[in-house]
Structure 1
Amino acid sequence: MNDSLNIAIAQIAPVWLNKLATIQKIEAAIEEAATQGADLVCFGETLLPGYPFWLESTGGARFNDPEQKQIFAHYLREAVSIENGDLGSICQLAKGHRIAVYLGCAERAGDRGGHTIYCSLLYIDKEGVIQSVHRKLMPTYEERLVWGSGDGHGLQVHSLNNFVVGGLNCWENWMPLARSALYAQGENLHVAVWPGNANNTIDLTRHIALENRMYVLSVSGLMRKDDVDADMPQYSLIMQNASELMGDGGSCIAAPDGSWIVEPIVGREAVVTAAIDMDEVRRERQNFDPSGHYCRPDVFELTVNRQRQTVVKLKD
């Protein structure tokens, strides 16, 4: 039995809204995690090519505003197209190092016309194959100005050694039914991805670990004022009210008993690897298993629609 697994946090800042340069930085972090012996490396929410931090500081809700249109057009141009092979080099690197990857992307979805961005969390297996693309079910607050609402297609789990790993985007991790959908599929290693704020990870990471008696890896991005390139459209407008630290990180790992394996990492880039043991899950499931002996399916039932939602079904 292969009960051990090495998991890695890659808390890095993007080359903000620059897809090709951010891919290079992601690849360097994968290389570093691989040298540390990681079986799995995880990156923050929409790290590729970056989270829409401009919205709060530029009046993002102004309707039909030419400045907002210009920034969005740039964001859409730099968003990830899976169909066009944008992630090919990352997949090849994962295969070459035999390392699985959870990666947060701003996805320009070809199956929805190609001009709407989704906050997507991708799982790439050790063979370099993209096994799931989970589009965030409900963008949070101002995110709805730039992202579409996803569907349940990506509510999937994946086998990795003797572990079963699943993941959710940001505030989806607050959604009890989304979590339950993964728990019931046997999840015992949960990946929660965030744009970068220790206030989000410091309590919820341990709560989820205790709720399903499993390992929880929260991984955040980092975003500093200096990470905004001067060539960005509306650079002066963005910088005018931007805070010095828009995303402070907060990546961490909790054990099935709620204790810290890696305490929240704040304010710096880091690639950190930790060894986990499946036997720790078994010990904690002895007294509580929310999808097993502590479940009451005769009282509670959850239905999950995992069909990919599309506008048109073409029959040629």
Structure 2
Amino acid sequence: MDKKTVRVAAAQIAPDLTSRDKTLARVLETIRDAAGRGAELVVFPETFVPWYPYFSFVLPPVLSGREHLRLYEEAVTVPSAATDAVAGAAREFGIVVVLGVNERDHGTLYNTQLVFDADGCLILRRRKITPTFHERMIWGQGDGSGLKVVESAVGRIGALACWEHYNPLARYALMAQHEEIHVAQFPGSLVGPIFADQMEVTIRHHALESGCFVVNATGWLTEAQIRSVTPDEGLQKALRGGCMTAIVSPEGKHVVPPLTEGEGILIADLDMGLIVKRKRMMDSVGHYARPELLQLCLDDRPTAPMATTSGALPSLSATPTRTENDGHSAVSLDRNPDQRIAVLRGEAG
């Protein structure tokens, strides 16, 4: 990329647990705030709109039906008025926005990451490939079509949600596509301090291994919100801690001190020259790779419950976008030019 310095923002704020529109208003306010402070990229927490399903961590399945249905009612469809509002703010302020949403696609919810470029175009819509533990009762599974790095106004962006960072092959898929800024999103206000400690190790290691910057955002719950999720004081302990909003350099260092308590926005200037400085010594998908011995095969075709012989499968891409990514019934195995990652793609019949 040509830019030498990129100013980024990571938001640790609380959602409104009663309304998608009220949470969305917080998002739009934060975009304006970050842009006003010169940020060219702003990152929000995992499934921030309408809110992360904290209830599913402390309520047994038999008691979670009402809250699960309420999440369906408040969830985001793509495209919709909600995504249009975020796209409009990105375009108005000339800022790249990465937003986590609960996406509703007919009868299923997905943990979805949306990347809006500075011109308002939705350049990435990806779904978490494996929901974790309690989340499996809430969300469906994504597919390999979202494991891609996209060009943006601030450079090459890759994104993963929460414990997807414990899948080394998912991380390697993005590394092999030469991400420059990796966006990580976690729920925050969950599990306790150990979650924040583990998160810090994870994102710092990825920055080192990938030779990229990591911008991580976690959410925050107020004490009143915690009590609204559960009146059980014992269970309330599981809804505190776990916050590690942070910006990490390719050398594995915090660019600014992380935010672990309360609401706030981290702002940092990224020296993009550090990417080459790190990779000169250790490029995991370049001179430090051994593709003739070890190589990843990624099936990046969108999945669908039905295939037809008369036409293409439905695309997961949403408008407005610059390109479409349709999968088809015919299959071929292609390799990208640098031979670090084999990609299984569909071909038009």
The two structures have a TM-score, normalised by structure 2, of 0.82
Q: Which residue number in structure 1 is paired with residue 327 of structure 2?
A: none
The CA deviation string for residues 48-87 of structure 1, in whole angstroms up to 9 with x for no partner, is 1111111232213xxxx3x422211111111111133331
Give the CA deviation at 1:25: 0.4
- More displaced stretch, 16-25 vs 95-104: 16-25
Checking the alignment, whether the CA contact within 8 Å between 1:16 and 1:229 is kept in structure 2 is no
Structure 1: which amino acid aligns with 2:86? I
Percentage of identical aligned residues: 31
Q: Which residue number in structure 2 is paired with residue 305 of structure 1?
A: 299
Checking the alignment, whether the CA contact within 8 Å between 1:201 and 1:251 is kept in structure 2 is no
Cα pair distance change 1:265/1:156, threshold 3 Å: same
TM-align CA RMSD: 1.9
1:159 corresponds to 2:161: no
Q: Which residue number in structure 2 is paired with residue 32 of structure 1?
A: 33
Q: Which residue number in structure 2 is paired with residue 174 of structure 1?
A: 166
Q: Which residue number in structure 1 is paired with residue 80 of structure 2?
A: 84
Checking the alignment, whether the CA contact within 8 Å between 2:227 and 2:236 is kept in structure 1 is no
Q: Which residue number in structure 1 is paired with residue 261 of structure 2?
A: 267
- Stretches of structure 1 lacking an aligned partner (at least 5 in a row): none
Cα distance in structure 2, aligned partners of 1:162 and 1:130: 15
Give the CA deviation at 1:271: 1.4
Give the CA deviation at 1:130: 1.1
Q: Which residue number in structure 1 is paired with residue 44 of structure 2?
A: 43
Give the CA deviation at 1:229: 8.9
Cα distance in structure 1, aligned partners of 2:76 and 2:198: 26
Give the CA deviation at 1:308: 1.7
The CA deviation string for residues 136-162 of structure 1, in whole angstroms up to 9 with x for no partner, is 010000110111111111112122356
Cα pair distance change 1:152/1:55, threshold 3 Å: same
Q: Which residue number in structure 1 is paired with residue 185 of structure 2?
A: 193
Give the CA deviation at 1:255: 1.0
Give the CA deviation at 1:17: 4.9
Aligned residue among 213, 218, 221 for 1:220: 218
Give the CA deviation at 1:186: 1.0
Structure 2: which amino acid aligns with 1:170? C
- More displaced stretch, 10-19 vs 170-179: 10-19
Residue 6 of structure 1 aligns to a residue whose secondary structure is: strand
Q: Which residue number in structure 1 is paired with residue 110 of structure 2?
A: 118
Cα distance in structure 1, aligned partners of 2:55 and 2:154: 41
- More displaced stretch, 87-96 vs 1-10: 1-10
Work out the number of aligned pairs and report it. Answer: 301
Checking the alignment, whether the CA contact within 8 Å between 1:2 and 1:161 is kept in structure 2 is no
Cα pair distance change 1:247/1:255, threshold 3 Å: same
Aligned residue among 93, 99, 107 for 1:97: 93
Structure 2: which amino acid aligns with 1:125? D
Checking the alignment, whether the CA contact within 8 Å between 1:49 and 1:106 is kept in structure 2 is yes
Cα distance in structure 1, aligned partners of 2:201 and 2:87: 33
Q: Which residue number in structure 1 is paired with residue 279 of structure 2?
A: 285
Q: Which residue number in structure 1 is paired with residue 341 of structure 2?
A: none
Higher RCO (CA 8 Å, separation ≥ 6 residues):
1
Cα distance in structure 1, aligned partners of 2:57 and 2:101: 20
Q: Which residue number in structure 2 is paired with residue 133 of structure 1?
A: 125
Cα pair distance change 1:257/1:310, threshold 3 Å: same
Structure 2: which amino acid aligns with 1:90? V
- More displaced stretch, 304-313 vs 274-283: 304-313
1:9 corresponds to 2:10: yes
Cα distance in structure 2, aligned partners of 1:181 and 1:132: 15
